Structure 1
Amino acid sequence: MADASTPPPAAYAASPVTPINLILLSLFVFLVYLRLKPSAPATLPRAPPPTVFRTFTPPSLFPYNGLNGMPVYLSVRGRVFDVTSGRNFYGPGGPYANFAGRDASRGLACGSFDEDMLTKDLDGPLDTLEDLDAEQLEAMKGWEERFEEKYLVVGKLVAVGSPEAEEAKA
């Protein structure tokens, strides 16, 4: 016979529905759900807007100086380069910022960042660069080659009132 101080054998069988088991089961179901739920479809980043080769005049190039969310363009020997990817150099606050939106030919040839290297009269004739010596021309050519390797040519720079400028307006 069983001792009166020992509980009956059914009392030893614990119920499987305990708070800890419910928490563990909930955690297991949640982890399975996270593992099996469909993931969001992968999306590609938006492509930059297409760049169209166009004809610029000094006044139409000037707004492309990196301010107000604009791209950064500069011109060397009549070719306009999109240097936006080098914004930290050519954009606002950069060491070459005064060349942004301008013809940088003379300044790059002379190795000078001074404002007097830039054409003051945007409606006047383009700088012919005729007074540059061979060493300065070679320096400018080196810069132009560097830009060709790194940046996209987006246009050409012509003087205001030139036939090409008038044709570009039409």
Structure 2
Amino acid sequence: MNSFVKTFMVASVCVALAGVIIQEVIERHKAEISQILDENPSLKVASETAQEIFPVFRFLRPIFTYFPSLRKVLSFLQPTPESTPTTGSTSHTTPPTSIKKMKEKLFTPEQLKAYDGKDGNKGPYLAILGRVYNVRKGKKHYGPGGGYEFFSGRDASRAYVSGDFTEAGLIDDVSGLSSTDYIGLDEWVKFYNTDYKYVGKLIGRYYDENGEPTPYYYDTQRWIAQAFAEKENDNQEKKMFPPCNSEWNPETGSRLWCTKRSGGIERDWVGVPRKLFMPGQSKSRCACVKNFGPPSHDPKRINHDRGDLDHPNLQEYPKCVPDQPECYVKLD
């Protein structure tokens, strides 16, 4: 073997070794490198180009082919082949026993009743929307003599928002509530998720004997989602038509007026008071209406300088000056 071949072999091995070291660094810091490349497109293109021009293991393959004796010496440079699971084998999919997910505890109403914290019973535990929580750390509230002891050992979801703490009101049926109540229920669940330990599910209205959600569970989630959608629509409506400020005086009647912060909605305009009638609502409310520029639903409209005054659900207050931000009226 002449000196040129020896030099070529040594140089090839050195380059390959350097490439493998770089490859190892890349594998160990793959997430960080990917983030950097995603944030710098030019680097990402350069990296992909370099891999195409000089892929490390493609370079090694011909060397090992023509110089088989190097395979044993440089075996640590060869890529580890992907393991192929044997038919019927579960060694690649079954997690170690130590990290298996523990089976979720299921309670019948009778079993949960035994966790009311009274007369030496365990707990206290309580349930809301079928989810059971250990509230022992709040025993002074949920235990015997506590202000909320009637919640323990049962699912009294409805009472959380109805305020009816009689036996007739301490029930888990939450159908027919208002949007505000459904949002309140969701906030209570978030409170217990944050402040107390979740321990399992209550078999009954929300979960079946296997711990699977019932149709009623999905109904409840739909009611909650609709409540949040209505709240968002209401927020958008109030941004477009902020509530008026109001006060009542026995001599002058009701005073309605608009400012840049009336109704708790900050904006760069004042507006004028108008009656706002919304579909499905029997009464109107006072809204501050933008009275200049294009309408809110079409901000690019030209040759329009009446703002939202032409909205079909608006009506002027009798005996009020239409273009003034203040008005004295006798409310309905």
What TM-score bracket applies, with the shorter chain setting the length? 0.5 to 0.7
Q: Following the alignment from structure 1 to structure 2, what is the Cα–Cα distance between the partners of residues 156 and 69?
A: 19
Q: Which runs of 4+ in 1 moved over 3 A?
A: none
3-state DSSP of counterpart to 2:126: strand
**Deviation string for 1:11-53 (max 9, x for gaps)?**
xxxxxxxxxxxxxxxxxxxxxxxxxxxxxxxxxxxxxxxx973
Structure 1 CA distance, aligned partners of 2:108 and 2:122?
17
Aligned residues: percent identity? 36
Counterpart contact for 2:164–2:170, Cα < 8 Å: no
> Partner residue of 2:201?
156
**Corresponding residue for 2:157?**
105
Deviation at 1:138, TM superposition (A): 1.2
The reply on whether 1:94 has 2:139 as its aligned counterpart is no
Do the aligned partners of residues 69 and 154 (structure 1) sit closer, same or farther apart at CA in structure 2, a change above 3 Å counting? same
Deviation at 1:165, TM superposition (A): 5.9
Q: Aligned pair 1:78/2:138, yes or no?
A: no
Can you give the 5+ residue segments of structure 1 that lack an aligned partner in the other structure?
Answer: 1-50, 120-126
The aligned length equals 109
C-alpha change, 1:163 and 1:79, in structure 2 (3 Å) is: closer
**Does structure 1 residue 118 correspond to structure 2 residue 156?**
no
In structure 1, what is the Cα distance between the partners aligned to 2:113 and 2:165?
17
Q: Give the RMSD, CA atoms, in angstroms.
A: 2.5
3-state DSSP of counterpart to 2:160: helix
Distance 2:190 2:163 in 1: 16
Q: What secondary structure sits across from 1:75 in the alignment? A: strand
Q: Distance in 1 between matches of 2:130 and 2:168?
A: 19
Question: Which amino acid in structure 2 is aligned with residue 65 of structure 1?
Answer: D
**What residue is the counterpart of 2:113 in the other structure?**
62
CA distance in 2 between partners of 1:95 and 1:156 (Å): 24
Offset at residue 137 of structure 1 (A):
1.0
CA distance in 1, matches of 2:161, 2:103: 28
Q: Which residue identity is paired with 1:112?
A: D
TM-score where L is the length of structure 1:
0.57
Paired residue type of 2:183: E
Query: Deviation per CA, 1:118-145, whole angstroms, max 9, x where unpaired?
Result: 24xxxxxxx4422222111111111111
Higher relative contact order (CA 8 A, sep 6+): 1
Residue 144 of structure 1 is matched in structure 2 by 189
1:109, distance to aligned residue in structure 2 (A): 2.2
Provide the rounded CA distance (Å) in 2 between the counterparts of 1:66 and 1:163: 25
- TM-score, with structure 2 as normaliser: 0.30
**Contact 2:117–2:152 (Cα < 8 Å) also in 1:** yes
